[in-house]
Chains A and B, each alone.
Chain A
Amino acid sequence: MSHAPLAPACAAVLRRDLTLAWRRRGDIVMPVLYALIVTTLFPFALGPEDALLQRIAGGAVLVTMLLAMLLALDAMFRSDIEDGSLEQLMLSPQPLALMMGMKILAHWITTALPLIVIAPLLAGMLHLPTAVMPVLIYALLLATPLLSLLGAVLVALTAGTRRSGMLLALMLLPLCVPVVIFAAGAVAAAQQGLPWLAPIAWLGAALAMALVLAPLACAAALRIALDA
C-alpha cells in the first residue's frame, strides 16, 4: 500500500481548511468586527485626549488582537471533532504534527491576517504616530503566529471537554504574557525613539522555537485529549 507523499497531503489539509473558512466568510469577519468594536471602546472609557490615547495605542491594539484571537481559537477544532474528520486525520499515515502545523497555518491565515490588515486602522483610531506603524506590523507579524501556535496546543488539550471558552483564557493568558511584553515593548521603544530591534529579535527567536515545538506538542495534546 502506498501512502500519499507528504507535500500533497499538507497541501490538501491546508486547502480544505481554507476552503471551509471561505465558505463561511461570516466567521472570518467576526474577529475583525470584534477588534474594531473593542478599540472604539477605549476612547469612551478613557476620554478622548490625544496624548493619552497615543500613549496606550500600541498596547491597546495588541491586547485587542490577543482577545480577538482568543475568541476565534475556541472554534479551531470544533467542527472537525463534530464531524469526525479529526479522528481521520489522526489515523492517517502522515505525521500528525505536520498536519496540525498546516491546520494552525490555515487558522492563522483566516484569523490573524485580517486582524493585521486592519491593525493600522485600529492604531490610527488611537492616534499612533505613522512612523511607529511599521514596528507595530513587524511585532504583530511575529506575535500573532506565536499566539496561534501556543493557542493551538491549549485548544488541543481542551478538545475532549465540552466547556472550554473561559478555561482557554485562563490557560492561554499566563503563557502569552512574554509575547505581549516583547511586542508592546518594541512598539513603546519605537514610540520613544529608542532602538526596537532587540524585542523584535526575541519574538523571532521565540517564534522559531514555537514553530518547531508547538505542532509536536499540539499533536501530543490531541492524542491525550481524545483517547477515551
Chain B
Amino acid sequence: MANWIPLWVHKLSSPPNFYRFAGTLRPWALALALLLGAVALYGGLVLAPADYQQGDAYRIIFIHVPCAWMGLFIYAVMAVASFISLVWRIKLAEVVAMESAPIGAAFTFITLVTGSLWGKPMWGTWWTWDARLTSELVLLFLYLGVIGLYHSFEDRRQGARAAAFLAIIGIINVPIVHFSVNWWNTLHQGSTVRILGPSKMSREMLWPLLTMMAATKCYYIASLFGRVRTDLLSLESGKDWVRQIAEAQGGASAASAGRAGAAERESQR
C-alpha cells in the first residue's frame, strides 16, 4: 500500500534518476519562485500599510526576515543531509549537503546586509554587538568553515564527509540563533510571527511576508537542483548515463569531450 513511498525515495537517490527528476522540477520551482516573489513584493511594497512606528523603512522586512529564515532552514537541511550521508553513505545526500552550503551562506549574508541597512535608520547604527546579530554572523562563519573544509580535500567525497561532520557539530548554533531574541533582551526586536497561535502582526503585512517565504523556499529548491545536477554530472563523469546525456545533447563533439574529461579524471586518481 504505502510501500511505493520508500521505493520511490530509493529510486530517487540514484544519481541518474535524481538528475532527471530535478531537471523536470527545476523550471517549475524557478517560475513559482519568480511569481510568488513578484506577488509578495507588490503586496509588501505597495499594498501593505506603512508601519505606525517605523514608517516605510520597515518594508525591508519582506526581504530580511525570509532570508533569515532560509539561513537557518538551509543549515538544518544541510545538517540532516550530512547525517544521512555519514550514516548511509548516500552520494546524493553528500551532494545536497555540500551544494546547500553556498546557498545558505548567501541567504545569511543577505540577512546581515539588509539587517544593517535596516539598523541604520532605526537604531542609528550599522552594526551592534547584539546577541542575534552576533549569532547570525557566527552562522555565516560556520557556513564558510564547511565550504572551506569541503574544498581543502583533494578527494571530493572525502572532503564532503569531513565537511558533513563539521556541519553536524555546528548545528548547536541553530537553536542559539533562533532563541537569542527570547533569551537575551537586546536591541533586536522579538519574534512577531508565530507558528502556534496568532501572530503579532497585521494581516496586510503578514501575507506578503509568508508569500515571500514560500518564494525563497522555491528559489532554494530551484537553485539547489541546478547546482546538484551540475555536480552530479562532474562527479559521475565517465559513467554511462552521463555519456548518454552528453551524446544526446551535444552530439559527437560533446561526447568526445566528455570521454576525454572522464579519462583525465581517471588518470588523476
Contact with B along A165-208 (1 / 0, CB 8 A): 00100110111011000000000000000000000000000000
Q: Is A94 an interface residue (CB 8 A)?
A: no
CB closest chain-A residue, reference B155: A228
A-B CB contact pairs (8 Å), 13 listed: A157-B149, A158-B162, A160-B153, A160-B158, A170-B141, A174-B142, A174-B145, A175-B170, A175-B172, A177-B138, A224-B165, A225-B158, A228-B155
Closest chain B CB from A210 CB (angstroms): 11
Contact call B161/A158, Cβ cutoff below 8 A = no
How long is the Cα–Cα vector from A174 to B161 in the complex, in angstroms?
Answer: 20
Given contacts A157-B166, A225-B158, 5 further A-B contacts (CB under 8 A): A161-B153, A175-B142, A175-B169, A224-B86, A228-B155
Q: Is A164 an interface residue (CB 8 A)?
A: yes
Contact call A163/B152, Cβ cutoff below 8 A = yes
Name B136-156 residues within 8 Å CB distance of A.
138, 141-142, 144-145, 148-149, 152-153, 155
Residues of chain A within 8 A (CB-CB) of B149 are 157-158, 161, 167, 171
Closest chain A CB from B263 CB (angstroms): 22
Residues of chain A within 8 A (CB-CB) of B148 are 167, 170-171
Q: Is B128 an interface residue (CB 8 A)?
A: no
CB closest chain-B residue, reference A169: B145
Residues of chain B within 8 A (CB-CB) of A221 are 162, 165
Q: A160-B153, A175-B169, A228-B155 are in contact. Are A170 and B144 (CB under 8 A)?
A: yes
Q: Is A154 an interface residue (CB 8 A)?
A: yes
Name the one of A163, A178, A224 contacting B162, with C-beta atoms under 8 angstroms.
Answer: A224
Contact call B141/A167, Cβ cutoff below 8 A = no
Residues of chain A within 8 A (CB-CB) of B169 are 153, 175, 217
Q: Is B114 an interface residue (CB 8 A)?
A: no
How long is the Cα–Cα vector from A173 to B170 in the complex, in angstroms?
Answer: 11
Contact call A170/B138, Cβ cutoff below 8 A = no
8 pairs of A and B residues whose beta carbons are closest in the complex: A171-B145, A174-B141, A161-B152, A174-B138, A170-B145, A224-B161, A157-B162, A174-B142
Closest chain B CB from A84 CB (angstroms): 19
- Interface of chain A, helix or strand or loop or mixed? helix
Q: How many residues of A contact B (CB 8 A)?
A: 23
Closest chain A CB from B87 CB (angstroms): 11
How long is the Cα–Cα vector from A225 to B172 in the complex, in angstroms?
Answer: 22
How long is the Cα–Cα vector from A175 to B153 in the complex, in angstroms?
Answer: 21
Closest chain B CB from A205 CB (angstroms): 13
- Interface of chain B, helix or strand or loop or mixed? helix
Point out residues on B near A: beta carbons under 8 Å: 86, 134, 138, 141-142, 144-145, 148-149, 152-153, 155, 158, 161-162, 165-166, 169-170, 172-173, 176
CB closest chain-A residue, reference B143: A174
How long is the Cα–Cα vector from A77 to B165 in the complex, in angstroms?
Answer: 18
Residue of B142, B145, B166 with most partner-chain A CB within 10 A: B145
Q: Is A220 an interface residue (CB 8 A)?
A: yes
CB closest chain-B residue, reference A221: B165
How long is the Cα–Cα vector from A175 to B172 in the complex, in angstroms?
Answer: 9
How long is the Cα–Cα vector from A161 to B154 in the complex, in angstroms?
Answer: 8
How long is the Cα–Cα vector from A171 to B161 in the complex, in angstroms?
Answer: 15
Closest chain A CB from B46 CB (angstroms): 40
Residues of chain B within 8 A (CB-CB) of A157 are 149, 162, 165-166
CB closest chain-B residue, reference A157: B162
Residues of chain B within 8 A (CB-CB) of A225 are 158, 162
Residue of B86, B148, B153, B162 with most partner-chain A CB within 10 A: B162
How long is the Cα–Cα vector from A40 to B144 in the complex, in angstroms?
Answer: 32
Contact call B141/A224, Cβ cutoff below 8 A = no
Q: A175-B169, A224-B162, A225-B158 are in contact. Are A158 and B141 (CB under 8 A)?
A: no
Residues of chain A within 8 A (CB-CB) of B145 are 167, 170-171, 174
Contact call A154/B170, Cβ cutoff below 8 A = no
Closest chain A CB from B180 CB (angstroms): 12
Contact with B along A137-165 (1 / 0, CB 8 A): 00000000000000001100110110110
Residues of chain B within 8 A (CB-CB) of A167 are 145, 148-149, 152
Residues of chain B within 8 A (CB-CB) of A158 are 149, 152, 162
Contact call B173/A224, Cβ cutoff below 8 A = no
Residues of chain A within 8 A (CB-CB) of B161 are 224
Contact call B162/A160, Cβ cutoff below 8 A = yes
Contact call B170/A164, Cβ cutoff below 8 A = no
CB closest chain-A residue, reference B152: A161
Contact call A154/B166, Cβ cutoff below 8 A = yes
CB closest chain-A residue, reference B86: A224
